[in-house]
Each structure stands twice: as C-alpha cells, then as structure tokens.
Structure 1
Amino acid sequence: MPKDLISLGEAASLRGYADSSAIHKLIARGRINRYEVYGKPLVSRAEVLKYDPESNKGGRGRKAQA
C-alpha cells in the first residue's frame, strides 16, 4: 500500500476539479487505484499527479474544427 494516500476531495482539488465526482470516474474506469483505510476511501497522491488525460485519447476522437 502506498504511503502517500490522500482523500478523494483532496485529490480533486489537487487536479483542479470542482468536486470528487471526476476522481470517482477515474477510479471506476481503472485509471487510479482506490484504497480503503478504516472505511475511508483514499487514493495515491502520486497516481493522481501522474494521470494524464491527454494520454487516453483512444477511440474515435473529436471532429476537426473548421
């Protein structure tokens, strides 16, 4: 278990998100691991900082703007 565990709210503010729902989505999609300590959900600070949304541009992509 990583030593640098932080709460979901702290992870959201670290990434600049308004709330922790975006962190929940990353956990659900398997992008960030979730750890539970004494019943409290936590994530690794290093994983949150390492995650790059631009590297996950799989699929169809967006249409080019004219």
Structure 2
Amino acid sequence: MATGTRRWPSLLTVAQAAQMIDRDENTVRIYLRRGVLHGRKSAGAYVLARDEVLADISRHERTLKKGTIG
C-alpha cells in the first residue's frame, strides 16, 4: 500500500483513494460496488473516509492472503 509521506485529507475522492492505495480508479469503483470499500455519494460522486479506506483495504488484503475472496 503506497501511502508514502503525503498527508491525505480525511475525505477522499475516488482518484485520491486510488492513489493512496496504489490502485487504478476503476478498481476503486469496482471495490465500492462489491462492498470491499465503503463510501457515499455526494453530488453524484463517491466520497470515501481515509481511515475507512485504509481499514477496508487492509481487511481485503488479509482475506486474499488467506485464499478466500470476499
């Protein structure tokens, strides 16, 4: 996960979330549709909470390492 030294805002756009977790924007949208990541729509665009994204992606990666896809 590429969080680097950049300080991320508490609320992220899809593009920011994708950059923060080193994924493509389309992958983030797929994760949102599948419930891997949680966000809400605001003015027609997803908004994601930074801390929730980090927790969700960590949980997802642990699940993948166990060999079960959820």
Show the counterpart of 1:9.
Answer: 15
Mapping of 1:1-66 within 5 angstroms?
Answer: 4-17=10-23, 19-50=24-55, 51-52=57-58, 53-57=60-64, 58=68
1:41-62 Cα deviation digits (max 9, x unpaired): 1111112212223311315xxx
How well do the aligned residues superpose, as a CA RMSD in angstroms? 1.7
Identity %: 22
Q: How many pairs align?
A: 55
Q: Given residue 32 of structure 2, which amino acid in structure 1 is its aligned partner?
A: I
Q: Output the TM-score relative to the length of structure 2.
A: 0.63
- Ranges in structure 1 where 5+ consecutive residues have no aligned partner: 60-66
Q: Over alpha carbons, which structure has the higher Rg?
A: 1
- Ranges in structure 2 where 5+ consecutive residues have no aligned partner: 1-9
Greater shift, 47-56 or 5-14, is seen at: 47-56
Q: Give the Cα–Cα distance (whole angstroms) in 2 for the partners of residues 6 and 12 of structure 1.
A: 9
Show the counterpart of 2:5.
Answer: none
Show the counterpart of 1:64.
Answer: none
Which of structure 1's runs of 4+ aligned residues deviate more than 6 A? none
